[in-house]
Structure 1
Amino acid sequence: MSRTLEITVLSGENLRIDRKPIKKNAYVVVRTDSNNIVTTRMDKEGGNYPSWNEKMVMDMSMHVRFITIEVQCKTVMGIRNIGMARIPVSDFVGGYLPENYLHFLSYRLRDPEGDQNGIVNLSVRVKATEPLEVLSCSRTAAWAGEHGGGSPGVQMSEMKTGNGGGVVTGVPVWWSYPRNY
Structure 2
Amino acid sequence: MANAQNRSLEVTIISGEDLRINDRPIKNNAFVTVKANSRCSPSSQDSTKPDARGESYPYWDEKLHMELPTGSRYVVVEVRRRSSSAGDKLVGTAWIPVSDFIGDYTPENYLHFLSYRLRDAKGLRNGIINISVRVASSSYKGTSSCSSRQPPLVPAFRMPVDRENHGGTVTGVPVWCPNQWKA
Please report the TM-score for the alignment, with normalisation by the length of structure 2: 0.69
Q: Counterparts in 2 of 1:115-134, with a 5 A limit?
A: 115-129=124-138
Equivalent position to 1:58, from 66, 77, 86: 66
Q: Counterparts in 2 of 1:37-116, with a 5 A limit?
A: 37-75=45-83, 76-116=85-125
AA aligned to 2:43 is N
CA 1:78–1:128 in 2, change beyond 3 Å: closer, same or farther? closer
- Unaligned stretches of 5+ in structure 2? 142-183
Percent identity, aligned pairs only, is: 48
Q: Distance in 2 between matches of 1:56 and 1:86?
A: 17
Q: Judging by fraction of residues, say which structure has more helix.
A: 1
Q: Distance in 2 between matches of 1:129 and 1:37?
A: 19
Alpha carbon RMSD of aligned pairs, Å?
Answer: 1.5
Q: Could you tell me how far 1:57 is from its partner in structure 2?
A: 1.6
* Corresponding position of 2:28: 24
Q: Counterparts in 2 of 1:148-163, with a 5 A limit?
A: none
Q: Distance in 2 between matches of 1:31 and 1:111?
A: 17
Q: Distance in 1 between matches of 2:45 and 2:100?
A: 20
AA aligned to 1:73 is R
Larger radius of gyration: 1
- Unaligned stretches of 5+ in structure 1? 133-181
Q: Counterparts in 2 of 1:7-18, with a 5 A limit?
A: 7-18=11-22
Q: Judging by fraction of residues, say which structure has more strand.
A: 1
Please report the TM-score for the alignment, with normalisation by the length of structure 1: 0.69
